[in-house]
Structures are given as C-alpha cells and as structure tokens.
Structure 1
Amino acid sequence: MGAVAGWLTGCNQGVFIDDFRSEVEQVQLESDEDEVTLCFQTDDWTVEGGELSHSLKGQFSSFFFQQYNDQGEHIGTQESPSLDMHGSLSLHHPLIELYIEHLRSGELTVRVVENLLPECTLFLVLADKEMPEIQQFIRIQLQTAKYELEGITYTLNTWGEERKDGDRVLLSVTNNADTPTTITLYPWKEEHKQVRFRRVYLVTGGQGTLEKFDPFYLLEHPVEVEIPTFRKGFGFEMKGEKALLTGDWQQQDLPKADEERKVTVAQGEKIKIRKKVHYEAYDNDCVFRFRNVKTHKVREFSASFYQQLPTDIQVYTEKVK
C-alpha cells in the first residue's frame, strides 16, 4: 500500500484522498473552532470504528458519541464512533466538544469546538462498502486549548484541620572542657511550610457530571497567586504570600528561619539536644476561573488549598549516662 503522511493544519482546508488504498492520513486541528474535510473520489465507504485517546488522569465522566441521521434525528449512542450512512456524530462532553459529519457524498468533516484533553487524538477507521478488508486509517490530532487565569477567591474559614507532633534529636554534645559551653541552634531553619492546590473539580453548571483532574496544564504560562496566611490564634488572612497555581507540592521558607535558641552544656556533661515540633494543617476552599485565550470562554474550578506548617517548636535536653 502507498502511504500519504503529512501534518496539515485544519482551517477549513479539504484533504483530498484520491486513492482509497492510502494507508495513513494524519491531520492536526487547532483546539478551538477548527475543522477539516476529507474528500474521496467516491462514496463507497463507511466509518467502521475508531477511538478517542488522551493522556489526562483523574476522574471524569465517560465519552459517548450521539448519532444523528441526515435529517438531524437522534438514532443512537455509541462508545466508538461509527457511521454506516449519511449523518453525523456529536461528542458533547465537559472536556471536549467535536462533530464528525458525513452529510455530502465523498466528504467526511471533523469539527472541534473546544478540546481540554492533553495529547488528544481521534482515530477513525474507514472501510470500503464492498470490500471491508480495504481500510483507511485516519489520525486527527486535536491540540489542547490554552487558558489564562482570570481570578481566584478563597474562603478564609477552614475545614479538615490536622494536628501532629514530631520529635527528633538535633545534636549530641559532650563537654570535656573545664567550663560550661553554649551551643547556638536554629531549630526553625530546617522547617518549611508545605502547600498544594488539590481536590480540583470542574464546575459543570448543573450537568451532574464529576470531572476531577488537575487542569493547570491548560495555563499558557505559569501563574503565581496570593495564598492565605495563617493568623496566630485563629483563622487566616491575605498578607501577600504567594505560591504557584499548580497541583504539585511546594515548599516555602518560614519567617522564623534565623531565630536562635541557646543551650548551655555544663562541664563534663553529655547530653542530647532534642526538638519537638507541633504541626498544623488546613484546607481553604477556593474557586479559580480560567479564560480561554482564543474564545474568551470562562471555565470555573472548585478546589482546596492545603497547607501544613509548624506552629511551635520546643527545644529541650536529655542527659546521657
């Protein structure tokens, strides 16, 4: 079989396949409002099957194609795209909207309205009506939409509070001198605040679907946002602290990193210097809004901002016999 392999940008161009024995046709479409029409010399073929592949990880509703005849009447639902007559298929999902149309003889049109799926490819298998073993394989790469941050809001009351203590040896000291010696420690220096945006859901406007995934790959550029600051005593406030808007763990320095603690070791004494750290962790509910760079469509996500931080450190000594 001969091979026709070329990357083409859609933009309403027709891709003429003059010989149905061509092995592969690869087409690339933009992420928003783009289409391509594949043209054949005859209409002696059907869309036998195919699949939609992507690399998104998370929890989201299934992808189903709705089938319509050439009169626009709904005639079925499919997991795999197939058309054995003139008509169309539509995939209307919170993460992707696209259409496959065979409305004119010798033409197959694929149109994408918007695609949020990363590394997304629509794979179609076309077969000759008289000789089904003669097939055409078409791969249509769908680019991922790009967004920018429009805004983020937090609730400063928290939920899911966690508390725990950590205890460890900082130093073992033996003073063989004739006089007491003083050790200067920086117990906060190795401590950090751990933060992360997590439990992210796409708000689907009452569609009753569950779309849970990290959408930060949609952002055209990395974005730094203001985050809530723990207020000594109770609650949180906005004081200008920032973090990257990402689902990855981030480690931040603490303002007390240079705070000193001094321990005096008597002459002839052997001790262990220990520290006990009290940690607290909180979730702040938040909502952030992404705006499509091209179409300006706004997507809203609900999430929680999690942070774990040390709130108190006790330094004490333990004699060693």
Structure 2
Amino acid sequence: MKTLLHIVVYIFILMGLSGCNSDVFVEDFQPSVSDVTLEGNGDSVTIRFKSSNWDLLRVYDYYDNSSLYYSVYDKDGNIVSQNQSPVLEGLGKIVCDDIIYKDKMVDFAIERTHPREVKITVNENMYSSLFQFCVTVSNEYETKKIYVSITPSDRYIFDRITYSLDAYSYTDKQIEERKSIVVNNRGDESIVTNYIFPFKDEHRQIQFTSNNPEAFNLLADSKPEVEIPGIVDGHLVMNGELARYASDMQQLPLPFPDTEKEAVTTPPKTSQRITLLLEYEWFETNFTLYAVHPKTKKEKVITGTLQSKMPKGYFIKSEKLNN
C-alpha cells in the first residue's frame, strides 16, 4: 500500500512540472525531474519551498549571451544591480533585459514576494529554439537547482516597413571592372570584330542587414514581399518596387533591356585587351519593420539597413598589347 502511495505522489509531482501556472515544491524534486518547461507565448510557475531559510537566488543562462543582462530589484522596487550574473538576496525580483536590441528576444522575470515562494513569469521567447536557464536557491549549507526551458513563441505577422527617405548614402559613380578578354589578331590580315553586351546577366542587387542576428527569424512568413525604395533623379522615393525581406543577397531584374551591345574592333596584325567597366548607382538607407504578434497583439520593431546596387552605364577600355 505504501509503495502504491509513493507512486501516486510521484505522478502528481510530474503532472505539476508539466502544467502551466502550477505550484512546485522544490524540496520534493528528484534530480531526474527537476525541470520546468514554460510556454514562450506567456506562462508562469510558482515554486514553493517547505522552509524559508533559502537566502540567495541566482540565475544562470546556458548561452553565455553577452547581450543579456539582468536587472535586480529589491522588495520595494528599487534597482539593486544590473549584470550578467544576477543574485537576489531576500525578497525582490530579477528581470531579463537586453542591452543591445530595441526589443527583447527573450522576456521573463523571477520574483520572490514570500520567503517560501519563487514565481517565474514568461512573456515570450523569440529565439528559434528553447531558451534555457537555471535558477538556484541556496543557504549556508545547501543549494537547490531548478532547470527552466522556455519554448519558442509564435512568430510575428508582418505589418509594414518604412525607410529613411531623407537620410541616406548615395553615389552614382561606383565603377567596377566586370570582364576582360584578350583578342590576338597578329596572324590575320583582316579586322576582327567582337560584340560586347555590357548588361547581359546583370541584375539589381538588394540586401537587408540588421545588427540583430534573429531579425530575419521573427516572422511567420520567413521571406515576405515588401516594397523597397529606388532612386529617381538623385532622390530616394517609393515607386512600387518589391523585394523579399530576407538576409540573403537578392538579384532583381533590371528595369531596362539587357540587349544593348557595342562592337569593338581589333586591327590586323595586332592584339589587344578589351575590358568592360560598369558604372553603378548605389545607395544605403535605414529601415524600420513593424510586426504584430497574432495572439498577444504586441508590436515588434525591427531596425536595420537596406543596400541597393544597380548598373546604370558602362565603359569599354581597349589596351594594345605589344607581345
């Protein structure tokens, strides 16, 4: 009968660990079941102790993430410290902060409002995998560990994107060598003609970049089509052009035919090097993308830069070779 009772108690402990908004008695933990998994879309768990002689509470994350700091508050709401290795003595709260990005990628708090209770509240985890950390409570003689995992949150829905149309970098004099050929006509008595197609296989190159490494993993549609600006008479304007919001370099069709050609002749008994140089129109501007969470309706703001490079002219250089 006692064995059956122990099994029932063990099952109830496991059920408490797997549920949302549950109460967990930390001193009843066995090492193999001292894990708590919380939903990234919003969840909480209250951990209860049988005794109140646990003086220190610490948090360790598993990622050594330099962007994550923790703000520690005392029981009156006054900030005590901000660092990567938070320690709470007595009552108060530890809040996960992000010192680099405008919006937190992971948002959770650990609060102790009673000597025998610790409440962990999760708002979201926008990383694409589990975010894991360890909470330890300790006294002079003993340490207890609770391993916490936060599941990834639902992805955000793209809402709109804006650009800095009045503050951008621009040049229309970026010149690059594209191809070069050597024509040897030394053994011929007639003129050799080569046709150069300067814009053949050329594209407009577009790339979005962001300092936030997760900026392109936040959306449910991984590569939504968005409007991008273009240059008209030296000014940045919105004119209905579209590209994918993605981190990889994109090649868009040129807004003009690529069939233009130019004949280059090589006289008899000579050889020459023919080099094609393209002149590009280049600009870089800041973007701000707004997205909305489908359940919480929270707005996420993502910032970064957009770069565009498009050929607009060409030069052909002919160099006579003596050898």
Smaller-chain TM-score bracket: 0.7 to 0.9
Q: C-alpha separation between the residues in 1 aligned to 2:32 and 2:285?
A: 54
Structure 1 spans left out of the alignment, 5+ residues: 201-211
Which segment is superposed worse, 48-57 or 101-110?
48-57
Q: C-alpha separation between the residues in 1 aligned to 2:15 and 2:266?
A: 77
Counterpart check, 1:219 vs 2:258: no
Kept in 2: contact 1:89–1:101 (CA 8 A): yes
Kept in 1: contact 2:206–2:249 (CA 8 A): yes
Q: Give the RMSD, CA atoms, in angstroms.
A: 3.5
Q: C-alpha separation between the residues in 1 aligned to 2:17 and 2:215?
A: 27
Q: C-alpha separation between the residues in 1 aligned to 2:80 and 2:317?
A: 73
Aligned match of 2:198: 187
Kept in 2: contact 1:47–1:81 (CA 8 A): no
Number of residue pairs the alignment of both structures matches:
299
CA deviation string 1:262-307 (max 9, x = no partner): 2233343322111122233212343321112221111234443221
Relative to structure 1, the CA distance from residue 10 to residue 104 in structure 2 (aligned partners, 3 Å threshold; closer, same or farther) is farther
Relative to structure 1, the CA distance from residue 215 to residue 56 in structure 2 (aligned partners, 3 Å threshold; closer, same or farther) is farther
Q: What is the TM-score of this pair, normalised by structure 1?
A: 0.76
Q: Aligned runs of 1:265-304 on 2, under 5 Å? A: 265-304=266-305
Q: C-alpha separation between the residues in 2 aligned to 1:219 and 1:101?
A: 30
Q: C-alpha separation between the residues in 2 aligned to 1:270 and 1:216?
A: 51
Task: Report how far residue 150 of structure 1 moved.
Answer: 0.5
Kept in 1: contact 2:155–2:219 (CA 8 A): yes
Counterpart check, 1:150 vs 2:159: yes
Task: Report how far residue 192 of structure 1 moved.
Answer: 3.6
Given the alignment, which residue of 45, 49, 67 partners 2:54?
45
**Secondary structure of 2:217's match?**
helix
Relative to structure 1, the CA distance from residue 152 to residue 261 in structure 2 (aligned partners, 3 Å threshold; closer, same or farther) is same
Q: Aligned runs of 1:1-321 on 2, under 5 Å? A: 11-17=20-26, 19=28, 22=31, 25-54=34-63, 63-69=69-75, 72-74=76-78, 76-79=80-83, 80-91=85-96, 94-95=103-104, 96-104=106-114, 106-116=116-126, 119=129, 120-127=131-138, 129=139, 131-132=141-142, 134-141=143-150, 143-144=152-153, 146-157=155-166, 159-162=168-171, 163-167=173-177, 170-175=180-185, 176-198=187-209, 215-222=215-222, 223-231=224-232, 233-254=233-254, 255-321=256-322
Q: C-alpha separation between the residues in 2 aligned to 1:63 and 1:159?
A: 33
Task: Report how far residue 56 of structure 1 moved.
Answer: 6.8
Q: C-alpha separation between the residues in 1 aligned to 2:58 and 2:27?
A: 21
Q: C-alpha separation between the residues in 2 aligned to 1:173 and 1:13?
A: 80
Code of the residue aligned with 1:218 in structure 2: it is L
Q: C-alpha separation between the residues in 2 aligned to 1:56 and 1:20?
A: 28
Greater helix content: 2
Relative to structure 1, the CA distance from residue 29 to residue 55 in structure 2 (aligned partners, 3 Å threshold; closer, same or farther) is farther
Which segment is superposed worse, 302-311 or 47-56?
47-56
Q: C-alpha separation between the residues in 1 aligned to 2:45 and 2:63?
A: 20
CA deviation string 1:213-233 (max 9, x = no partner): 6622211222121212333x4
Relative to structure 1, the CA distance from residue 228 to residue 6 in structure 2 (aligned partners, 3 Å threshold; closer, same or farther) is farther
Relative to structure 1, the CA distance from residue 15 to residue 189 in structure 2 (aligned partners, 3 Å threshold; closer, same or farther) is farther
Q: C-alpha separation between the residues in 2 aligned to 1:5 and 1:170?
A: 71
